[in-house]
Chain A
């Protein structure tokens, strides 16, 4: 196993291939889109890397990890600039050398691997072409040698029929193949340093493990140094020799990293035992839901589920397995299905348009992306107040009073009334989404991956809030998530959706060891 020494660069006997000192990156001018009050994305960051070493960089979303990764190649996105510091690669400061020399190093000595392989390839050019151009730029090969070398590279990454593969476009190959091609393209320039920016974040757990293994073997085989950026501590743990942590553009100290590691390794606090009062009759009954997309393949094949009043039921399963579809069906937003949904024994119309106002009120949904579920032009007062007004027809003063009360319930205050979406962070937006759902005084709230778009700390906050609210308000939740730890923390029981049906309803702790979720589902790939 790779040895671990916590903390930022300690000079060792072997030479540093990369040495960063006092790196500062700021946003240029005043950008109305910026959420953070400050304009510094990175502030005085220093690190060092030895040849062949793997350095992990972790941190929450918005901490500046990607900005740092790009800055290591002397690159800043438009509207952002590197305002200070030194990035020394093999003795030369990348921030001072002229543009064309920088161009020789980028892609050649230092290669960048981005998160999304599909987004890294030009959809209008063949994959082969894009690898060939790296070879021609950095290894000065002529056209035919470059093509031959490309085929060799692709073959070395276990891609089938490289010559044919080269002629494909990125949308014609699977995600896993694109990933391998991306790595091939990065290796084409013969780099000594790889910067990997969240290479496995968008993947489901099964594929993730495979890709991490691939990256590890590539690093070991080619003996390159690597910087591995991710917000996933577990993955970084497995692959890196050392780990540093970024928080809002600043490097955390050694002690904090150690504490973080310990906290992460601790077993999750077990879910409080089942509630004392459990209403016996069912609030929501879902019976034998069957639906298929246009591909005539049934996504849901007979889903049945029962929810009791005030209960918190989790729903887990493979991504793309139909969890969100089920959520939308319950809320009347996906009327194309067979089967029934009943609320307190009353059959609900498949389409929300034909449900009564009362039925619509009793079931509310909170979306994964709070930002997209909120009208960017509306103030918080309008967002929440409208719901109150719509369902309860109160006068202006009463509505405002109610709105403030709701804000307080979700941990915000009346200063938020006049704000619009642009002026709030991801966590705050999600709280608004929850407040909006609560405003209707529903009996059931469907929470569709509500913490998936948030960083770990913010997500924790939201989970705590949800738990508190459930106890206080007595609302039932259907909590959909692919985050097992969140599910374990929050839910009374967990329904497992596999192959289009609910195969089990289990105690939360069991999902951590649930066989159905460990095995990778076969979607024909080489990934």
Chain B
């Protein structure tokens, strides 16, 4: 329990410092943001007005605490471009991105675990070699390559799935899944190689330990050794990898959403960056950061928790 408290405290501190960094970053970085947004020919008044709305004219820390307080109250501010509140839009987009991430996670975890375990059971044989080759290629393919190849093969040539995944609230489940298939598949394939490789690596590491050798000398069949003896001892590393990769997905969705024009948080961010809509960028970045930090901490605590020696008396 105490560990949970310390971890949470650490996470919160980092998050807090991150918010400060994000907010104050606008002052630290070179370049006059107001001019950059409005252009060289902007009038002094409009520049001043912009600076005011960005809070650049008052004391940095003052502004920061105001902003933070607002955030904590749930007021996420207004967009520079639309002048509408950020909150509702963000929530909607967040929902979409979460669905994408969750569906992908649900697909990738069992798949990579299965492949990892099977390749260790058949280590050195054809199945293992084939898996390794496929994984190597997937690892080297940027997400947009995977996405576009899927589009070319499953959407353009064969018209099985749509290449634009514009999902709406009132879609039927079937239609929804159909529209989501390619983006989910792309995200899954982007992350699969990492988890599978890590699983395989962690299992092979455990297979080198003396007690596994003893298990072999006890005459136990290989699948039993891999699943019953090795897997539980590799679980910590594996879960940690999964958490880390889910964290990775946080950034991965940005590119995927761009490929499929999926209305998620990533698209929202990219649009905002393009229009230099600073308030939006700050808030969305903070959201991504929070998710990322939480997932990383979870990864940490999982790896600690699965080792009975670290847990204490069983």
Which residues does A use to contact B, with CB under 8 Å? 70, 73, 75, 77-78, 100, 102-108, 111-112, 114, 116, 119-126, 133-134, 137-138, 168-169, 171-172, 185, 189
Contact = CB atoms under 8 A, between A and B. Distances in A.
A70 B217 contact: yes
Size bin of chain B's contact surface? 20 to 34
A138 B210 contact: no
A133 B229 CA distance: 11
12 contacts: A70-B217, A73-B217, A104-B219, A106-B216, A108-B219, A112-B218, A114-B213, A122-B212, A137-B218, A138-B219, A169-B308, A171-B309
B131 interface: no
A139 to B, nearest CB: 12
B211 A121 contact: yes
B275 to A, nearest CB: 53
Given A116-B210, A121-B211, A169-B308, A137 B232 contact: no
Interface in B241-299: none
Nearest to B211: A122
Interface secondary structure of B, over-half rule: helix
Given A125-B232, A189-B218, A169 B210 contact: no
Contacts of B209: 119
Contacts of B219: 102-108, 137-138, 189
A102 B220 CA distance: 10
A484 to B, nearest CB: 30
B220 A107 contact: yes
Nearest to B212: A122
A112 B224 CA distance: 19
A119 B212 CA distance: 9
Contacts of A172: 313-314
A122 B233 contact: yes
A126 B214 CA distance: 15
Contacts of A77: 213
B167 interface: no
Interface of B: 208-221, 224, 228-229, 232-233, 307-309, 313-314
Given A123-B308, A169-B314, A106 B217 contact: yes
Contacts of A102: 219
Given A103-B221, A112-B214, 16 more contacts: A75-B217, A100-B221, A103-B220, A106-B218, A106-B219, A107-B218, A120-B210, A120-B214, A122-B212, A123-B211, A123-B308, A133-B224, A134-B218, A137-B218, A137-B220, A169-B314
A133 B220 contact: yes
Contacts of B215: 122
Contacts of A111: 218
Contacts of B314: 126, 168-169, 172
Given A125-B232, A169-B308, A169-B314, A120 B220 contact: no
B218 A119 contact: no
A133 B221 CA distance: 11
A495 B61 CA distance: 68
A444 B282 CA distance: 66
A17 B207 CA distance: 32
A149 B210 CA distance: 26
A169 B308 CA distance: 9
Contacts of A124: 232-233, 307-308
A107 to B, nearest CB: 4
B221 A122 contact: no
A125 B229 contact: yes
A133 B217 CA distance: 13
A102 B232 CA distance: 26
A134 B228 CA distance: 13
A120 B214 CA distance: 6
Nearest to B235: A124
Q: Give me the 5 closest cross-chain CB pairs, A-B, nearest first.
A: A107-B218, A106-B219, A107-B219, A119-B210, A103-B219
Contact of A114 (B210, B220, B233, B307): B210
Contacts of B214: 112, 114, 120-121
Contacts of A121: 211, 214
A267 B49 CA distance: 101
A114 B208 CA distance: 15
Nearest to B314: A169
A171 B209 CA distance: 16
A325 to B, nearest CB: 25
The residue in B209, B210, B211 that gathers the most chain A C-beta atoms within 10 A of its C-beta is B211
Contacts of A125: 228-229, 232
Nearest to A168: B314
